[in-house]
């Protein structure tokens, strides 16, 4: 029976199992929520949970590209951030425009289009000393186009980068360094005031959804939780489909013996590119759901360290196990916000005080080392071993 | 008999060392050929050039009736025109089962989307069973390739070549790590294959080459030293000097 269970969580059925848990979890939170339930779970904590689901989505992407295809990308959080920026532009523009129009409602003459744009420009870009709306905001008033951009921008960037890198047969640690350089370059560029995305101020006020002013933050947090949960389930379905198909065999083949796959007649570069682009798009979608819940995005979010954390989550959760990536991302990111949130009192040892905020990184680093040494397959591998033994 | 592969005057050097020096070689349709030669004679480099892993500095490599230049193709395209290769060291996807290894080798569309939506058909399953039977791995279909014995790994790799239905098989040291009965079976299999396809076997073991009963090409210092039946080349003075020993 144990073996049946093992097969159950490993094979295509793990989709059923994971989606059930996610749905159940979401329903429980709704029941306990401030907006629609017993008011036992605060709005801010609902947002933390919703954001955690988005981090689970990007962890799935990382597991697919690293755990299954063997590409240690240190750039997937950059795609996540780009997705966030793409939705952020629409959110910020539309809301500022609504505020401008609202505040001048009592004017005798209604504002012209140019006047509105100028006012919006001053509102948004005043902090970086400008009033002009940059060209990249051209479509900022169209939600539909920006939803397409959420998929397109990370996808195209990943395509160009991947095409150049994989075609030159850059692999292993060199590829990781390249992806990290890409992330750093993007982050540094966004820090510039004239990048057109408000430099280090980033985009803010993203928690206010334009045209949905009737909904309170408590209600919105629940709707974002539901949306994140559904996207997570959909992403899990896609990833599960990929890893259980012949394509899945090929990408794990590339991970384990690239030469053989190449000399079986498969264009290894196309496969890597395919997986790299798909996972970049998934990351972009996750980011677009994350930042409206976080409320603010700035270039620091795209810094290479974030992508390294992502690799750590997947390593702790278990490379090559989709459910492992979920466990890793959920567990580590929740623990991270718990320990760095300042809720636990510091421990005074007399000579020195243990400050959790400072020591959390050390604990995380230690657990990464311990995982690598004693459970190279992470939590997913441990789960498998426990059930296989008994 | 028409020429299947024609290699003309190829040369390649690595850091000044001439691995292949003005080598010419050709093989006909449905021919079995053995290539022998001492270590460093350029046998593996020759295969690297034919399969697109290494590009030569000079020379041409022409394929088939249409005289396609293989030098302009990448590895995957060369497999597509019908050249498959078995490496000296068994090269398998060790983390996957024998069945999965054979499934990946089957001659099917090789782009990401068609593999994503691929469904295993009964015909494909039968084909895999037939190939597994041919290389004596029917019992081991669900075993991980990494857990096979060395001889079985060699066979699985040959089976993976069969699954690709190539016109030319390049087989590097098939007999290594095999017991005497296994060798005999391998010889029989290679002979049988050469009824429908061309086969080039690189081998050190003279007994094995002898039992193949085919033409032999002797390589030395990156060029062809002698070519003909085994008896003929083994009486060649130069061959005796550099390879067989007096």
CATH of domain B1-82+169-246: 3.40.50.300
**Tens of pLDDT along A262-307?**
999 999 999 999 999 999 999 999 999 999 999 999 999 999 999 9
Task: Provide the shortest C-alpha distance from residue A20 to chain B (in Å).
Answer: 25
Closest CA to A88 of A137, A40, A33: A137
- pLDDT of the residue at B245: 66
Task: Provide the shortest C-alpha distance from residue B106 to chain A (in Å).
Answer: 9
Percent of residues, chain B, with pLDDT higher than 90: 52
Contact B115 A256 (CB under 8 A): no
Task: Provide the shortest C-alpha distance from residue A365 to chain B (in Å).
Answer: 30
CB atoms closer than 10 angstroms to residue A13: 12
Task: Please indicate if any CB of chain B lies within 8 Å of the CB of A12.
Answer: no
| A317 close to A325: Cβ distance less than 8 angstroms | yes
- pLDDT of the residue at A182: 95
Task: Provide the shortest C-alpha distance from residue B155 to chain A (in Å).
Answer: 15
B232 pLDDT more than 90: no
- pLDDT of the residue at B181: 87
| Tokens found for residue A223 | 């709707």
Start-to-end C-alpha separation, chain B: 36
- pLDDT of the residue at A104: 83
Contact A265 B111 (CB under 8 A): no
Tell me the sheet residues that pair with B217.
Answer: B35, B227
Task: Provide the shortest C-alpha distance from residue A377 to chain B (in Å).
Answer: 14
Distances (CA, A) of A249 to A13, B93, B102, B146, B202: 18, 9, 11, 15, 30
Task: Please indicate if any CB of chain A lies within 8 Å of the CB of B124.
Answer: no
Average pLDDT over chain B, rounded to an integer: 89
Q: Which of residues 249-268 of A touch B (CB under 8 A)?
A: 249-250, 252-253, 256-257, 259-268
Which residues of chain B have a CB within 8 Å of the CB of A249? 93, 96, 100, 103-104
- Domains of chain B, by residue range, sit at 1-82+169-246, 86-165
Task: Please indicate if any CB of chain B lies within 8 Å of the CB of A287.
Answer: no
A241, A262, A274 member nearest B75 (Cβ) = A262
**Tens of pLDDT along A334-365?**
998 888 877 777 888 877 887 888 888 888 89
pLDDT interval class at A35 (50, 70, 90): confident
Number of domains in chain A: 1
| Disruptive mutation site among A67, A249, A263, A276 for chain B (greatest number of B CBs within 10 Å) | A263
**Tens of pLDDT along A133-165?**
888 999 998 999 999 999 999 999 999 999 999
Task: Please indicate if any CB of chain A lies within 8 Å of the CB of B55.
Answer: no
| Disruptive mutation site among B84, B85, B98, B104 for chain A (greatest number of A CBs within 10 Å) | B104
- pLDDT of the residue at A180: 95
Task: Please indicate if any CB of chain B lies within 8 Å of the CB of A276.
Answer: no
- pLDDT of the residue at A117: 86
Q: Which residue has the higher pLDDT, B194 or A353?
A: B194
In A, minimum Cα distance to B82 occurs at A265
Task: Please indicate if any CB of chain A lies within 8 Å of the CB of B104.
Answer: yes
B94, B105, B117 member nearest A264 (Cβ) = B105
Give the pLDDT mean for A303-326: 93
A242, A253, A259 member nearest B104 (Cβ) = A253
Percent of residues, chain A, with pLDDT higher than 70: 96
| B202 close to B47: Cβ distance less than 8 angstroms | yes
Task: Provide the shortest C-alpha distance from residue A245 to chain B (in Å).
Answer: 6
Give the pLDDT mean for A253-264: 94
Which residues of chain A have a CB within 8 Å of the CB of B79? 263-265
Q: Is B23 helix (H, G, I), strand (E, B) or coil?
A: strand
pLDDT interval class at B157 (50, 70, 90): very high
- pLDDT of the residue at B65: 82
Task: Provide the shortest C-alpha distance from residue A275 to chain B (in Å).
Answer: 9
A3 pLDDT more than 70: no
| Tokens found for residue B67 | 């005289």
Task: Please indicate if any CB of chain A lies within 8 Å of the CB of B147.
Answer: no
Task: Please indicate if any CB of chain B lies within 8 Å of the CB of A278.
Answer: no
Task: Please indicate if any CB of chain B lies within 8 Å of the CB of A131.
Answer: no
Contact B103 A257 (CB under 8 A): no
Q: Which residue has the higher pLDDT, B101 or A343?
A: B101
Give the pLDDT mean for A189-198: 90
Residue A351 CB-density burial (10 A; 0-12 exposed, 13-18 middle, 19+ buried): exposed
- Identify the domain containing residue A119 by its residue range: 2-389
What ranges make up the beta strands (E) of chain A?
203-204, 296-297, 347-348, 353-354
Contact B116 A260 (CB under 8 A): no
Q: Is the ipTM of this complex over 0.85?
A: yes
Give CA–CA dist A146/A275, Å, rounded: 23
HEC string for B110-174: CCHHHHHCCCCCHHHHHHHHHHHHHCCCHHHCCCEHHHCCHHHHHHHHHHHHHHCCCCEEEEECC
Residue A343 CB-density burial (10 A; 0-12 exposed, 13-18 middle, 19+ buried): exposed
Give the pLDDT mean for A22-27: 96
- pLDDT of the residue at A239: 95
A7 pLDDT more than 90: no
**Tens of pLDDT along B51-83?**
999 999 999 999 988 888 999 899 999 999 999
Average pLDDT over chain A, rounded to an integer: 90
Contact A263 B96 (CB under 8 A): no
Task: Please indicate if any CB of chain A lies within 8 Å of the CB of B76.
Answer: yes
Q: Is B3 helix (H, G, I), strand (E, B) or coil?
A: strand
Which residues of chain B have a CB within 8 Å of the CB of A253? 93, 96, 104
Contact A263 B112 (CB under 8 A): no
Closest CA to A67 of A317, A260, A390, A369: A317
B79, B112, B116 member nearest A263 (Cβ) = B79
A257, A260, A270 member nearest B112 (Cβ) = A270
Contact B110 A253 (CB under 8 A): no
């Amino acid at each position: 029976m144990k073996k049946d269970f093992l097969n159950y969580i490993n094979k295509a059925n793990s989709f059923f199992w994971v989606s059930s848990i996610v749905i159940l979890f979401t329903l429980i939170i709704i029941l306990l929520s401030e907006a629609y339930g017993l008011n036992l779970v605060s709005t801010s904590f609902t947002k933390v949970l919703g954001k955690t689901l988005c981090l689970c989505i990007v962890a799935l992407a990382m597991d697919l590209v690293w755990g299954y295809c063997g590409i240690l990308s240190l750039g997937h959080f950059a795609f996540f951030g780009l997705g966030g920026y793409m939705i952020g532009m629409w959110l910020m523009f539309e809301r500022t425009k609504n505020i401008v129009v609202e505040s001048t409602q009592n004017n005798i003459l209604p504002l012209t289009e140019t006047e509105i744009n100028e006012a919006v420009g001053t509102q948004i870009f005043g902090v970086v000393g400008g009033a002009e709306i940059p060209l990249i905001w051209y479509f900022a008033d169209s939600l539909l186009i920006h939803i397409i951009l959420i998929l397109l921008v990370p996808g195209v960037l990943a395509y160009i980068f991947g095409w150049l890198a994989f075609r030159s047969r850059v692999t292993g640690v060199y590829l990781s360094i390249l992806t990290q350089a890409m992330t750093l370059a993007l982050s540094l560029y966004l820090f510039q005031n004239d990048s057109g995305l408000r430099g280090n101020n980033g985009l803010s006020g993203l928690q206010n959804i334009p045209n949905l002013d009737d909904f309170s933050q408590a209600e919105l947090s629940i709707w974002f939780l539901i949306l994140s949960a559904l996207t997570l389930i959909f992403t899990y379905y896609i990833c599960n489909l990929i890893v259980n198909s012949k394509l899945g065999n090929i990408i794990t083949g590339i991970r384990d013996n690239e030469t053989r796959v190449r000399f079986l007649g498969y264009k290894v570069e196309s496969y890597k590119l395919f997986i790299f682009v798909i996972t970049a798009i998934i990351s972009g979608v996750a980011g677009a759901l994350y930042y409206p819940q976080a409320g603010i995005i700035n270039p620091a979010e795209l810094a290479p360290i974030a992508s390294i954390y992502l690799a750590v989550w997947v390593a702790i959760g278990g490379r090559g196990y989709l459910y492992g990536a979920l466990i890793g991302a959920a567990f580590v990111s929740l623990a991270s916000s718990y320990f760095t949130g300042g809720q636990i009192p510091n421990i005074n040892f007399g000579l020195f005080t243990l400050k959790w905020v400072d020591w959390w990184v050390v604990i995380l680093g230690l657990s990464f080392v311990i995982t690598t040494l004693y459970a190279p397959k992470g939590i997913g591998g441990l789960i498998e071993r426990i059930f296989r033994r008994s | 008999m028409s020429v299947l592969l024609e290699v003309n005057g190829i040369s390649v050097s690595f850091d000044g060392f001439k691995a292949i020096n003005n080598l010419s070689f050709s093989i006909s349709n449905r021919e079995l050929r053995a290539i022998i030669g001492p270590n460093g004679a350029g046998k593996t480099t020759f295969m690297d050039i034919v399969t697109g892993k290494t590009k030569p500095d000079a020379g041409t490599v022409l394929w088939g009736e249409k005289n396609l230049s293989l030098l302009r193709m990448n590895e995957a395209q060369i497999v597509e025109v019908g050249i498959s290769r078995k490496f000296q060291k068994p090269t398998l996807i060790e983390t996957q089962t024998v069945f999965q290894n054979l499934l990946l080798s089957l001659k099917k569309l090789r782009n990401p989307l068609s593999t994503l939506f691929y469904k295993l058909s009964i015909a494909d399953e039968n084909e895999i069973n037939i190939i597994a039977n041919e290389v004596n791995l029917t019992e081991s279909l669900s075993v991980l390739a990494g857990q096979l014995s060395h001889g079985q790994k060699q066979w699985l790799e040959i089976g993976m070549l069969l699954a690709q239905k190539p016109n030319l098989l390049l087989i590097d040291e098939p007999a290594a790590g095999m017991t005497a009965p296994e060798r005999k079976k391998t010889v029989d299999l290679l002979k049988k294959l050469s009824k429908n396809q061309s086969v080039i076997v690189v081998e050190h073991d003279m007994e094995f080459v002898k039992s193949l009963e085919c033409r032999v090409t002797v390589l030395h210092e990156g060029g062809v030293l002698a070519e003909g039946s085994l008896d003929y080349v083994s009486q060649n003075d130069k061959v005796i000097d550099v390879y067989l020993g007096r």
